[in-house]
Structure 1
Amino acid sequence: MSDVINVEQINAVYLKINTESSVKFELEAYFRFQPQGYQFSPAYKNRVWDGWIRIFQPLKPVLYVGLFAKLRKFCEDRGYELNAPTHLMEGETVPDDYGYEIAKEVNCKFEPRDYQNKYIVDAIRDSRSLSLSPTSSGKSLIIYLIQQHYYRAFEHRTLIIVPTISLVHQMAGDFIDYGCDPSHIYKIQGGVDKNTVAPIVISTWQSLIKGLNKDWFSQFKVVLGDEAHLFQAKSLQKIMEGLDECYYRHGFTGTLKSEESKTHRLVLEGCFGSVRKHVSTKDLMDDGTIADFNIKAIVLSHSIENRKAFKKALGKVQNTSQKYPAEREYLTNNNKRNIFIRNLLWSLKDQNNLVLFDLVEKHGKILEPMLHKEGRQLHFIYGATKGTERERIRHMIENDPIKQHDILASFGTFSTGINLKKLDNVIFASGSKSEVKVLQSIGRALRKGN
Structure 2
Amino acid sequence: MTTIHVGPAKCRLVASTHARLEVKDALSFRVKGFQFSPAYRSGHWDGRQTLLRRDGTFPSGLLSLVENTLRAAEIGFTCEAHAMPDVVLDSTRWRLKIELRDYQEQAVEAALKGRRGIFAMATGTGKTEVMIAITAALGLKTLVLVNNRDLALQTAKRFSDRLAGAEVGVVGAGRRELRDITIATFQSLRSWIRRDAETALEVLETYDVVHSDECHTLPAKTYVPVILSTPAQYRFGWSATPFKEDDKRAELQLIGATGPVLVTLQPIEAVQAGTSVPTSVTMLQW
Tell me the TM-score normalized by structure 1.
Answer: 0.55
Residue among 156, 162, 166 paired with 2:150: 166
Q: If each structure's strand is expressed as a fraction of its own residues, which one has the higher value?
A: 2
How far did residue 117 of structure 1 move? 1.5
Is residue 77 of structure 2 the alignment partner of residue 82 of structure 1? yes
Name the residue aligned to 1:116: 104
Name the residue aligned to 1:276: 262
Name the residue aligned to 1:53: 49
Task: From the superposition, tell whether residues 148 and 107 of structure 1 become closer, same or farther in structure 2 (CA, over 3 Å).
Answer: closer
Secondary structure of 1:206's counterpart equals: helix
Secondary structure of 1:258's counterpart equals: coil
Question: CA–CA distance in 1 between the matches of 2:260 and 2:39?
Answer: 31
Report which stretch shifted further, 37-46 or 284-293.
37-46
Cα RMSD (Å): 3.0
What amino acid is the match of 1:142?
A: V
Count of aligned pairs between the two proteins = 274
Is residue 30 of structure 2 the alignment partner of residue 34 of structure 1? yes
Alignment of 1:203-214 (within 5 A): 203-212=184-193, 213=197, 214=201
Question: CA–CA distance in 1 between the matches of 2:283 and 2:82?
Answer: 53
Name the residue aligned to 2:18: 22
Identity fraction in percent:
20
Question: CA–CA distance in 2 between the matches of 1:187 and 1:205?
Answer: 11
Question: CA–CA distance in 1 between the matches of 2:244 and 2:217?
Answer: 11
Task: From the superposition, tell whether residues 248 and 175 of structure 1 become closer, same or farther in structure 2 (CA, over 3 Å).
Answer: same
Name the residue aligned to 2:169: 186
Alignment of 1:146-157 (within 5 A): 146-151=134-139, 156-157=140-141
Report which stretch shifted further, 18-27 or 252-261.
252-261
How far did residue 29 of structure 1 move? 0.7
Question: CA–CA distance in 1 between the matches of 2:144 and 2:26?
Answer: 31
Alignment of 1:259-338 (within 5 A): 259=245, 264-295=250-281
How far did residue 75 of structure 1 move? 2.3
Whether contact under 8 Å (2:215, 2:238) holds in the other structure is yes
Secondary structure of 1:277's counterpart equals: strand
Name the residue aligned to 2:229: 242
Name the residue aligned to 1:126: 114
Task: From the superposition, tell whether residues 81 and 190 of structure 1 become closer, same or farther in structure 2 (CA, over 3 Å).
Answer: same
How far did residue 288 of structure 1 move? 2.5
Structure 2 residues without counterparts, runs of 5 or longer? none
Question: CA–CA distance in 1 between the matches of 2:149 and 2:248?
Answer: 18
Task: From the superposition, tell whether residues 211 and 282 of structure 1 become closer, same or farther in structure 2 (CA, over 3 Å).
Answer: same
Larger gyration radius, structure 1 or structure 2: 1
Whether contact under 8 Å (2:208, 2:232) holds in the other structure is yes
Secondary structure of 2:118's counterpart equals: strand
Question: CA–CA distance in 2 between the matches of 1:149 and 1:21?
Answer: 43
Question: CA–CA distance in 1 between the matches of 2:248 and 2:26?
Answer: 21
How far did residue 119 of structure 1 move? 1.5
How far did residue 299 of structure 1 move? 9.4
Question: CA–CA distance in 2 between the matches of 1:252 and 1:43?
Answer: 39
Tell me the TM-score normalized by structure 2.
Answer: 0.84
How far did residue 260 of structure 1 move? 7.9
Question: CA–CA distance in 2 between the matches of 1:202 and 1:44?
Answer: 44
Question: CA–CA distance in 2 between the matches of 1:115 and 1:87?
Answer: 34
Question: CA–CA distance in 1 between the matches of 2:70 and 2:115?
Answer: 22
Question: CA–CA distance in 1 between the matches of 2:116 and 2:282?
Answer: 41
Question: CA–CA distance in 1 between the matches of 2:135 and 2:111?
Answer: 11
Describe the superposition over 1:358-399 as per-residue Cα deviations: whole angstroms up to 9, x where unpaired. xxxxxxxxxxxxxxxxxxxxxxxxxxxxxxxxxxxxxxxxxx
What amino acid is the match of 1:67?
A: L
How far did residue 226 of structure 1 move? 0.9
Secondary structure of 2:243's counterpart equals: coil
Task: From the superposition, tell whether residues 296 and 60 of structure 1 become closer, same or farther in structure 2 (CA, over 3 Å).
Answer: farther
Is residue 256 of structure 2 the alignment partner of residue 256 of structure 1? no
Residue among 72, 78, 97 paired with 2:67: 72
How far did residue 78 of structure 1 move? 2.2
Task: From the superposition, tell whether residues 55 and 297 of structure 1 become closer, same or farther in structure 2 (CA, over 3 Å).
Answer: farther
Residue among 139, 145, 163 paired with 2:133: 145
Larger relative contact order (Cα-Cα within 8 Å, sequence gap ≥ 6): 2
Name the residue aligned to 1:6: 3
Structure 1 residues without counterparts, runs of 5 or longer? 95-101, 301-450
How far did residue 19 of structure 1 move? 0.6
Whether contact under 8 Å (2:215, 2:237) holds in the other structure is yes
